[in-house]
Structure 1
């Protein structure tokens, strides 16, 4: 009896430590989630952008304390505008290289930095992301009609783009490497926590996509190491007639532009 008793005590002790570790790790995850999700690079207020194509820097006031930094890349003879919502790292400098993909088709490109990114100020929250995206749309509407506005989301920006397209009209919604929701991506990585309750940022693309009336095209690579292809593929079931899910075989998270299939499809969509 004594050996069994010792074994039982040992098992109980291990269970207590395991439970304590589980909750401790969960608490740590909760408080550091911003640093795990977002990797901004802050720029000084006097920083001067340098790009190879014509552009205009915009500083857009949200309120007395918050200003959004944005760059308008200019097409030679603009016939529309692309609202581009970028990924979770760095700032506009990292994503500016994609602007020519759109300007050569006659689209201006308005690209903003989220709060706490680049030269944008204010506290980053999910609600603020939606609010700021709507503000960018209003800027676009001062120049173009809804049928001339393309909303494009890359990675983190796909949830923001989908939400905006669900509440405002546009010509087309394009999503590159999207996720079903952030909690879905987190669950793929470590499925032991209730992320829908744990995460302050959820960005449920799956909830917004069915509300988008504009044509939708999704691009996702099968070797995506950041947002699993399986998470993005779940969105395929939510697409309406005429929408399209474009699979880039072998494509990773940040190299879809290197694939002819992606470039040809994007060119054909922008030429319409």
Structure 2
């Protein structure tokens, strides 16, 4: 019975997006621009572009399964401080983005964001954290980009479900796959995967096994005493980002 209930309400476990009123006025200390797109099925996608005066390129930022662009703005600004424009996007049902959760449509949305910026920058880096790694890997597999950075990536949703709910086999009935494994094999650019060894949300083996699928292009950075929530504060993480973006 518990597994059936979890199946019926699985979106509540997978997606923890926080809505933002459409008339809300964003306010950030850094220079930014709010961007909205219309999808083929009539939905609105929302993002915030953090801008630099003479950027080295753009980082297309796919955040994890929770929050919205407000929650992730500090991380976006952190990357922007390396003199990159950063496009931080909200998925359907997150922030001001409209529409219901749908894996195929969300993938199309990710490609739409890439298509919007691809001709405006000479250098494009795609970043994905957690569930966002799925969208980042797909964009990197299907397009010519300069670099892919995955932070605490999900290998696929089935494995993530087994890790978090080992005694409830509802993951066998998932409506969503969010499987990075096939796309990561197709990526031809430099890949960097960062994961905390003490991660209790997404096991570090998830990142390690994605690395194993494309050793030719990938580096795996396992941070021994970091967990899911404190990677960005760890010296090894900061040193790695310095090398990648500095």
Note if contact 2:198-2:224 (Cα within 8 Å) is conserved in structure 1: yes
Q: Which runs of 5+ in 1 are unaligned?
A: 1-23
Displacement after TM superposition at 1:170 (Å): 0.4
What TM-score does the superposition give when structure 1 sets the normalisation length? 0.86
Which residue, out of 167, 171, 174, partners 2:142?
167
Partner of 1:31: 8
1:207 counterpart SS class: helix
Q: Which runs of 5+ in 2 are unaligned?
A: none
Q: Equivalent residues in 2 for 1:204-243 (5 A)?
A: 204-243=179-218
Distance 2:221 2:41 in 1: 43
Displacement after TM superposition at 1:260 (Å): 1.1
Partner of 1:55: 32
1:92 counterpart SS class: coil
Q: Equivalent residues in 2 for 1:62-81 (5 A)?
A: 62-63=39-40, 65-81=42-58
Q: Equivalent residues in 2 for 1:1-272 (5 A)?
A: 24-63=1-40, 65-145=42-122, 148-189=123-164, 190=166, 193=169, 195=171, 197-271=172-246
Name the larger-Rg structure.
Answer: 1
Displacement after TM superposition at 1:64 (Å): 6.1
Displacement after TM superposition at 1:247 (Å): 0.8
What TM-score does the superposition give when structure 2 sets the normalisation length? 0.95
Distance 2:225 2:117 in 1: 35
Larger relative helix fraction: 1
Say what the alpha-carbon RMSD is for the aligned residues: 1.5
Displacement after TM superposition at 1:267 (Å): 1.3
Distance 2:190 2:16 in 1: 31
Note if contact 2:30-2:50 (Cα within 8 Å) is conserved in structure 1: yes
Question: Could you say if the C-alpha distance between residues 64 and 238 of structure 1 is closer, same or farther in structure 2, counting changes exceeding 3 Å?
Answer: closer
Displacement after TM superposition at 1:221 (Å): 0.2
Task: With a CA cutoff of 8 Å and minimum separation of 6, indicate the structure with the bigger relative contact order.
Answer: 2
Distance 2:18 2:127 in 1: 22
Displacement after TM superposition at 1:231 (Å): 2.3
Distance 1:192 1:231 in 2: 20
Note if contact 2:163-2:202 (Cα within 8 Å) is conserved in structure 1: no
